[in-house]
Structure 1
Amino acid sequence: MRRQRKQRARRLAVLGAVTLALSAAVTGSSSAHPEHGGGREDFPGEGIADGLYKQHDGDEGHLPAVSRNVSVVGKAKVTNPSGAGNTGRVADVTAFGDYAYLTAFREPTCESTGVHVMDISDPTKPAEVTSAFIPTSDGSYVGEGIQVEHIDDSPFFHGDLLIHQNETCPGETPPGANSGGISLWDVTDPRSPKPLAMHVGDFTNTAGGLDPAPNQVHSMRMWTNVFDKKTYVALVDDEEGTDVDILDITDPRNPVLVNDGLDLGAVFGVDQPSPASLTSVFSHDMMIAKVGRRYVMNVNYWDGGYVLLDVTDPRPGKVSLVAESDYAALDEERLARGQEIAPEGNSHQSELSPNRKFMIGTDEDFSPYRVTAKIDSGPYAGQEYNATSAADTKPIDENTTVSGDTTYVGQACEAVPPGTGTALVERGVCTFQVKLDNIIAAGYTAGIVFQNVRSDCQGGSTMAAAGAIPYVFVNRYAGLRLLGVPGVTEANACTTPTPAAGGESTTIKSVFDGWGYVRLFGTDIPTRPGTTGSIRQIDTYSVPEAQDPVYARGFGDLSVHEVAMDPENNKLAYLSYYAAGLRVVEYGRNGIREVGAFIDEGGNNFWGVEVWKDETGEQYVLASDRDFGLYIFHYGG
């Protein structure tokens, strides 16, 4: 996942509004955000799994219903124009004025996606405005990242501006420029949204050239700087995952790319060398807050931790580091239960408290079991590596361990000689499914596919393949060590050729390490631009079931997803906790504790959470249920 910074051509001005109509999408290479299954296909149909939120498919079990200090004020189901139903349909939520906006995800089918518009003027009777549905382009979907802001200082636009991100449907590449980037809409009249600019963003690729369409965007956040009167938006770039892109959208019809060089590992050294498991370092999400005379962006940098940047002047060379966090050597929630294991990492989303003295961060983790792999023989005996199971193969869990000798069988695109144990396979030429079928036919009882020669050879992928044996993907560095190649390092693995034969013994097993949970930090952010501060972890919080192996299966996903700080209370926050429902926590110098919870009869699956006030000043909490639509809550603790 780590990448060397490259000098990239920059396209400073991007195209304005373009037509919404697209011809039918064609199959092509696809990509996904690193932690969400992906990697990029070497060729159309190679088989990269649609790993993001796969767990939402079907009817899962759930925790018992609960309503503690939380009451439902109203709720409304969304309508899927495709007719395919709502299982996994809903993603994020935001609200502005009398309307809420819910993004339409790629489940259950990646068609008719975009943004649902909900009238919440009467919170007890929210209703979808189906005629105002905001579509994204064919072959694209909208997920994590939507926002509405009122713009009144711009000479180019006055009104309410909505922005959403765009990602490409798995296995598809829409033709022309109508994919990726962000889309900007005028929702001054929410019942009649008007496009301002479609699919704008960073057009540079990792080779330094320009693509016809901007890179996919996983998330985004905009803000208006009161000092220079400009409006900006920061992007999570799927194609250059280590970068934070920033656009000037003061003229929302003609956005301008102003910064494409914020690789926080390379520029500010926010990654950490130990524990060795913290290898996935990239940007995932961000928020921006005014703190005195400066604007501070809290960036969630996955295994790089939580980072505070001064973006008062967002141009290259002007952004500075305020503070960053590091993960402890041992996972705190597991240590409290007597287990010594390295932390998962996975800083996903965070928000600062209203007084900027605290920050709550959410570590997202969908797998309660940690796959650990170790080389048992040869020059690298005792060294560990990461392995990712294919989508529909026998899982490596508490009942399944891979151990013993490996045998290199090349790319396994044709029938391979009979063998036993674990087949070691190089990626390329044919699909992951063909490789799996051939090694099964040859008699192997497990398979390891390692990355081929490429500039991003340290990246991982989730293979789309189905079979009755364990089948995992590892990076090239791990593959070459398993082959016993002398002198291989992380620095030279991407250019080191593959030998003709080899294979050391290995052990791959899993151990329960719980689902994702919450961190509370104390923050010191000086109000003067350019000055440094600090982030200090105070406490962690998890729903108890998420740390109990009894609940590892059959109860849905018990990971936290997002946090929304109460804007008027420096000690309350609201958490969307997927199948563990809505959680309300109280925080402060003495730690963090739960003070409210809600799970509906039949279960919930909450993705987004947002605090909203109606025109009378009454405060509510909005949550987006993946399989239903909008919930409106009132906390009464």
Structure 2
Amino acid sequence: MALAVAGFAPSPQSLFETIDVREWHHDPSQAMIEHDQQVENTVSMARGKSQTGTGIENFTLLGRGVRRLPNATTDVWALRDHAYIGTFNAPCGDGTGDNGSGVRIFDVSDPAQPVEIGPIPSVLGSRTNDVKVAELRSGDVLGYSNESCGGGPGGIELWDVTDPSTPSHLASIRVGELNPIVNTLVGGATADVGVHNLWLFTQGDRDFVALYAESVFHNFRIFDITTPAAPVPVSAWGAEEVFDPGVGDLNFDAPDGIERVQAAFNWLLSGMGDLAFRLLHDITINASGDRAYLSYWDAGLILLDISDPSTPQLLSVADPAAGPGGEGNSHAAWPSADGTVVVETTEDFDFGQLAITVDSGPLAGRQFGGIEDIGGAPPPRFAEMGPVQGELVFVGELCRGAPVENASAFDPGDIAVIRGSFCTFSEQLLIAQELGAAAAIIADILVGRQGIPSWTAPVPAITIPALMISTADGVTLMENPTGNIATIDPNVYTNLSPWGFVRIWDYSDETNPQLASTFLTDHARNESGPPDPRGTYSVHNVIVEGNIAFLSHYSDGVIALDISDPGNPVEIARYNPADAAFEEQNGGIQNVWGIYKIEGDERIFASDRNGGLYILQLLGNSSAKVSKAPRR
């Protein structure tokens, strides 16, 4: 595809007028955090089980490293006979690992009985999102990323795990904004930003670590760690170079520096779909260490030539709008051994909205979509309360001291339709509750608006469910303020769109990648809403060995795809238990985050956010079977 960016007109306004730079913050995991919050109080409605593998082969469970902590486990990596898993927001790093945080180490020499041998501590106040370990010239080196979960630092930590029973700290790397114009515009503490992912690699006689810095410009950084205790910065690159080559190096002395930086900044934050940004998420570097595959969310899958790590060169950008939905969301990627095929995962939690179905009245037959992510004190979920039916009555802003509009038409059991205002959502919901509303609908574009209601202590609990709808739909309801009887059923969705899915690319010409195919599970297709509202049905990470792509697919489990024909991927195995017995021993619904496989080794390592470490084996015989080799 052409690298030129079409259809973007930079705003004539200044950056200060278009973006509140004082509020700039980017956390790639925020969508995951919000999804956790959305489903944490949801109960299973038993509307179906996860589908089973459809191929002639399947997985068998060899063993597991038990860690029953809800939403706690992040990535997994392995080297020889040890596996390493990270920790998300809770428990947040305490600097020791005594509270269960940090990188948990398992001896997996006997895969049937993994033994936890001790943690590598997270930095105080930070979480360990990504974990990588590799055999380098200086020994076995582990790197993990830091993202603040309690005021802690960003960057990465390097550890010597040559003897995993006695790991030793090697170095800390901190990163910040590099462009002086961006640094000034963003303001605040920009010298130390979070890191979401990293990659350890070797090139010639030198060792390197590449990382994703959560800055605005220069997301991709490379450091020389040939002497791992003394990292040396080598280069920095960002997708802003796709939009405007050279913009990353502009400073205040450039005649048009501020305008160009502003335009690039705006482009990076104006992507497609729900998570509309063009910032890096994940890094994969090939075995020879000369190609970097950068999953750049709505900027697409970007391939860099890093033969000279000091001067990365742009080779291509895979079309971010390819496949269903056209939302970008490039999350992770992995090339085949020869680089001619690349499997890319997209991550998307914006699968659809609960339906407000008008049964009778002026708007009979209309359906509006709403979301339950409402700031402030969270209301109960419709899945907990069950279907609600009542008259939709527009009641105005419902702020304390403001009149209730259409008060004479509102009866207990009605559904209050509320106009967004400057008082808090909690305040509006509490007033609707006082009126006797069975549920509430708030029409407001400020989804993130939160705060403590102006209420006399103690603040009452919110006991009615609520939805947020778009301003446009709100106007329609406000123009028809009474007489519409509607049902909100937690089993009925509208505005459905696919969850995250797989794109398989033909990189025979690495300067012009072509989409070969896509792969979606039945649940990711999302034709009737999620089978279990507690679940997450997006794909997450991928690793490729031979002709098989192994996927971590959240509540669809671990999936193996035969990609020997890239234009026709075939599912050959799935590990996806979904019964009550599994949930009890797992500590919750299946929620697979990480996937890793040592080349030539039969063991497949998966991390479950609720249950910890799983070790699987692919069974059967087929042309797609990966090779087996003795463990070293």
Shorter-chain TM-score bucket reads: 0.5 to 0.7
Aligned to 1:549: 528
The match for 1:181 is 155
> In the alignment, which of 292, 295, 315 is matched to residue 300 of structure 1?
295
Answering whether residue 114 of structure 2 is matched by residue 138 of structure 1, we say no
Structure 1's 609 and 589: CA in aligned 2 closer, same or farther, altered over 3 A? closer
The amino acid across from 1:468 in the alignment is I
1:121 paired residue number: 109
Q: In structure 1, what is the equivalent of residue 254 of structure 2?
A: none
CA distance in 1, matches of 2:573, 2:542: 14
Q: How does 1:180-579 map to 2 (within 5 A)?
A: 180-198=154-172, 200-202=174-176, 207=185, 211=189, 214-226=192-204, 229-237=206-214, 240=216, 243-250=218-225, 251-260=227-236, 262-264=238-240, 266-267=243-244, 279-289=276-286, 295-315=290-310, 318-328=312-322, 331=324, 342-370=325-353, 389-390=373-374, 392-393=378-379, 415-419=401-405, 422-425=417-420, 433-434=426-427, 436-437=429-430, 445-451=440-446, 461=448, 468=464, 470-472=466-468, 510-525=494-509, 533-547=511-525, 548-549=527-528, 551-554=530-533, 556-566=535-545, 569=546, 571-579=547-555
Instruction: Note the alpha carbon deviations across 1:477-507, whole angstroms, 9 max, x for none.
Output: x89x999xxxxxxxxxxxxxxxxxxx9999x
For residues 151 and 522 of structure 1, the distance between their equivalents in structure 2, rounded to whole angstroms, comes to 31
Counterpart secondary structure, 1:389: coil
Greater mean alpha carbon deviation, residues 461-470 or residues 625-634: 461-470
Q: Is the 8 A contact 1:288 1:297 kept in 2?
A: yes
Aligned twin of 2:133: 148
List per-residue Cα deviations over 1:5-57 (Å, max 9, x = no partner).
Answer: x99xxxxxxxxxxxxxxxxxxxxx9966256249xxxxxxxxxx754576477
Q: Report the AA paired with residue 320 of structure 1.
A: L
TM-score by length of 1: 0.67
Query: Is 2:84 the partner of 1:101?
Result: yes
**2:120 partner amino acid:** I
Q: Distance in 2 between matches of 1:34 and 1:505?
A: 40
Residue equivalent to 1:498: none
**Is the counterpart of residue 625 in structure 1 residue 608 in structure 2?**
yes
| 8 Å CA contact retained: 2:332, 2:346 | yes
Cα shift at 1:446: 2.7
Aligned-partner SS, 2:290: strand
Structure number having the greater helix percentage: 2
> Residues of 1 paired with 2:154 and 2:74: CA distance?
17
Aligned match of 1:494: none
| Residue in structure 1 matched with residue 624 of structure 2 by the alignment | none
Q: What is the alpha-carbon distance in structure 2 between the residues aligned to residue 345 and residue 470 of structure 1?
A: 30
In 2 relative to 1, CA 406–618 (structure 1 residues): closer, same or farther, beyond 3 Å? same
- Per-residue CA deviations over 1:192-226 (Å, capped at 9, x if unaligned) read 11122246222665745573872122222232332
Determine the C-alpha separation between the residues in 1 that align with 2:10 and 2:203.
31
Check whether the contact 1:406–1:422 (CA below 8 A) recurs between aligned residues. Answer: yes
In structure 2, the CA distance between the partners of 1:505 and 1:463, relative to structure 1 (3 Å rule), is farther
Contact 1:370–1:513 (8 Å) recurs in 2:
no
Against the structure 1 CA distance between its residues 551 and 406, is the aligned structure 2 distance closer, same or farther, given a 3 Å change threshold?
closer
Distance in 2, matches of 1:100 and 1:122, equals 12
Distance 1:627 1:278 in 2: 25
- Where in structure 1 are there 5+ consecutive unaligned residues? 8-28, 39-48, 80-84, 153-157, 332-341, 374-383, 452-459, 484-502, 527-532
- What letter corresponds to residue 557 of structure 2 in structure 1? G
> CA shift at 1:114, angstroms?
0.9
Q: Are the counterparts in 2 of residues 539 and 591 from structure 1 also a CA contact under 8 Å?
A: yes
Q: 1:161 and 2:141 equivalent? A: yes
State which structure, 1 or 2, has the greater radius of gyration over its C-alpha atoms.
2
Deviations 1:513-569 (A, max 9, x none): 24322121111355xxxxxx1221111112224334264435722221111101xx1
Residues 371 and 350 of structure 1: CA distance in aligned 2, closer, same or farther (over 3 Å): farther
Task: Kindly indicate whether the alpha-carbon contact (under 8 Å) linking 2:62 and 2:617 is maintained by their aligned counterparts in 1.
Answer: no
Local SS of the residue matching 1:513: coil
Tell me the TM-score normalised to structure 2 length: 0.67
User: What does 1:83-94 align with in structure 2 at a 5 Å threshold?
Assistant: 85-94=68-77
| Structure 2 equivalent of residue 605 of structure 1 | 591
In structure 1, C-alpha distance between the alignment counterparts of 2:36 and 2:233, rounded to whole Å: 28
Amino acid at match of 1:544: D
**Contact between 2:294 and 2:301, CA under 8 Å: does it hold in 1?**
yes
Structure 2 distance, partners of 1:59, 1:387, is 17
Deviation of the 1:96 alpha carbon = 1.0
3-state secondary structure, aligned to 2:286:
strand
Q: Deviations over 1:269-310 (max 9, x none)?
A: 99899977783332211211256xx72221222233322222
User: 1:515 touches 1:546 (CA, 8 Å); kept in 2?
Assistant: yes
**How many aligned residue pairs are there?**
513
After superposition, the Cα gap between the structure-2 partners of 1:116 and 1:468, relative to the gap in structure 1 and judged at 3 Å, is same
CA contact (8 A) 1:63 1:555 kept: no
C-alpha displacement at 1:90, in angstroms? Answer: 1.6
Please, which moves more after superposition, 360-369 or 92-101?
A: 360-369
> Residue 252 of structure 2 corresponds to which residue in structure 1?
none
Change (3 A) 1:165 1:57: farther
Task: State the 1:146 CA deviation.
Answer: 1.0
Aligned residues: percent identity? 23
